[in-house]
Amino acid sequence: MDLTPRTNDESSVASKKKRRWIPIVMVVAAMSAGGVVVTKFLTSAIDYYCNVDEVGSRAGCEGDRRLRVQGIVEEGSVQQQDGGTSFVMVFNLEKIKVVYAGDPGGVFQECIPVVAHGRVVDGTFESDRIEVKHSNSYVEKNKTRLDTANEEAAACSVLEG
């Protein structure tokens, strides 16, 4: 019986080195994939906030991206057709036609400030979401913007009434 110690075989050392790298490569791949998913989610979740008069003229308010647009529903512009709603939003004397697939419901009406989410397509804002009431935190952060919108809304109902 041979009791001399065995020497390390080069093939077993190379095998151990390979096994150490496999978990590292898997962790790096998982982190990279997670980073891509998070980046895609965050960039698609960002809707730039613009007033009607800023659409197409302010950086970030270009028509080729998803936007949240604030304006006043112009009196006499609301039309229900083919299960959808169209109306004109006004802000600082600028107008944009809005088409919404559905009925905005709730307290939606003429001469009130609204925020429409969507994209500009061929000069018309195609909206998939309409917001009428603002949260308290939004009101605190955007007081001057809302004051201007409320003044325009008040003028709308006075002029047309």
5-56: per-residue pLDDT in tens?
A: 776 655 555 556 667 778 888 888 999 888 887 776 665 556 678 888 888 8
CATH class of 48-160: mainly beta
Count of residues for the chain?
A: 161
Domain spans in the chain, listed from the N-terminal domain onward = 9-45, 48-160
pTM of the model: 0.58
Q: Distance between alpha carbon 4 and the CA centroid of its chain, in Å?
A: 72
The percentage of the chain sitting over the pLDDT mark of 90, rounded to a whole number, equals 6
β 94-100/113-121 pair status: unpaired
